[in-house]
Amino acid sequence: MWETLKEYKEILFTFQDGIAKISINRPQVHNAFTPLTVKEMIDAMNICRDEEKIGVIILTGEGGKAFCSGGDQSVRGHGGYIGEDTVPRLNVLDLQKQIRSIPKPVVAMVAGWAIGGGHVLHVVCDLSIAAENARFGQTGPNVGSFDGGFGASYLARVVGQKKAREIWFLCDQYNAEEALDMGLVNKVVPLEKLEETTVAWCKKILEKSPLALRMLKSSFNAELDGQAGIQELAGNATLLYYLSEEAKEGKNAFLEKRKPDFSKFPKFP
Ligand code: 2NE
């Protein structure tokens, strides 16, 4: 039974047994996102990061017909997607970075359309589980847009350069089995089994060491994300070091206004 963690206008944010679920709630437009949708998702992701009881995050869309159809073209204006504050934004790029850097696994649960910027959202998730009715593709060059960031480079790492160029240059749509064949999703299940399977995968992940998962996620990112990826991995190394008596000796010595004594700590080969 999913319990509501916080009320929003354009997303649902719920929790069950260590799992948070962030669900775009605009099924009338196949879960296209506005700047507000994205702002709310970023807020929910921040809560997921800070909340100790959350170990895994599911990203999905309401209605069973779409995961997400990308940016809402009806609010696309001069220079970006325009919300109530009249400022043109591409804040989904911030959300993509957040999905990659949050130190907990993020699982895309995809029913129906994962298209355009919605497709990129599932691509940047750590794992993707698809229903048999899932359809994948990019539309940018059809509608006057493109995502040359993770949407191009990370997609190419996932499916290979030739396939990624095909996906963007032809703007074809691919069914769930084709997505599985090209390594774009981890598993395909009947629609009625989608949530059950995703939750089962999340529960398996929750049994694992959270620090090991954290280190692994940042290690996978480090190879691809340049300085930002190395910073993430190094931040985790600092976290581990802070847990050690050796690091605590340095801090304590400073606070006690004495010389630190690091002599008792081992110099590993
Ligand atoms: C997804 C797709 C292929 C589904 O087609 P179909 O025929 O099943 O549904 P339909 O009738 O097109 O859509 C149902 C309703 O949802 C709206 C439609 O306009 C329609 O509304 P009504 O006619 O019933 O009033 N709708 C669907 N997607 C929407 C969208 N993205 N924005 C606003 N309204 C949308 C088909 O719907 C489709 O191709 N959708 C558009 C996909 C798309 O081009 N997305 C934007 C890509 S660019 C992007 O996301 C992006 C980026 O490239 C870079 C940075 C940030 C974002």
What pLDDT, in 10s, does the model give residues 40-92? Answer: 999 999 999 999 999 999 999 999 999 999 999 999 999 999 999 999 999 99
Distance between CA atoms of residues 163 and 155, nearest Å: 9
What stretch of H or E contains 239? helix 226-242
Kindly state whether residues 184 and 218 are assigned to the same domain: no
pLDDT score for 113: 98
Assigned token pair, 12: 């649902």
Distance, C-alpha 165 to centroid of its chain: 22
| Helix or strand run (H / E) with residue 162 | helix 161-170
CB under 8 Å to 56, separation ≥6 — which residues? Answer: 18, 19, 20, 104, 105, 106, 107, 202, 205, 206
- Look at residue 160 and tell me if it is in a domain: yes
266: in domain: no
| Binding site as annotated, residues | 69-73, 81, 113-117, 138-140, 145, 242, 257
Stretch 116-145: mean pLDDT, rounded?
Answer: 98
- Tell me: do 139 and 196 sit in the same domain: yes
* Residue whose CA is at the smallest distance from ligand 1 atom 23: 29
- pLDDT tens, residue by residue, 190-212: 999 999 999 999 999 999 999 99
pLDDT band of residue 178 (cuts 50, 70, 90) is very high
Give the Å distance between the CA of 6 and the centre of ligand 1: 27
User: In this structure, is residue 265 part of a structural domain?
Assistant: no
The per-residue pLDDT of the chain, averaged, comes to 98
Q: What is the pTM of this model?
A: 0.97
Question: Are residues 157 and 92 both part of a single domain?
Answer: yes
Domains identified in the chain, total number: 2
Domain shared by 19 and 114, yes or no: yes
**CA-closest residue to ligand 1 atom 40:** 69
The pLDDT value recorded for residue 202 is 98
* Ligand 1: lining residues by beta carbon, under 6 Å: 29-30, 32, 69-74, 90, 92, 113, 115-117, 139-140, 143, 145-147
Residues 195, 222 share a domain: no
State the residue range of the domain holding 169. 3-207
Distance, CA 215 to ligand 1 centroid (Å)?
Answer: 37
Percent pLDDT > 70 in the chain is 100
Check whether residue 188 and residue 227 sit in a common domain: no
Cβ 10 vs Cβ 31: under 8 Å: no
Å from CA of 29 to ligand 1 middle? 7
Split at pLDDT 50, 70, 90, the class of 260 is very high
Amino acid at 229: G
Please check whether residue 261 lies inside any domain of the structure: no
Residue list, annotated binding site for substrate: 69-73, 81, 113-117, 139, 145, 242, 257
Side-chain-side CA neighbours of residue 102 (13 Å): 29
Give the pLDDT band of residue 219 (cuts 50, 70, 90). very high
Confidence (pLDDT) at 83: 95
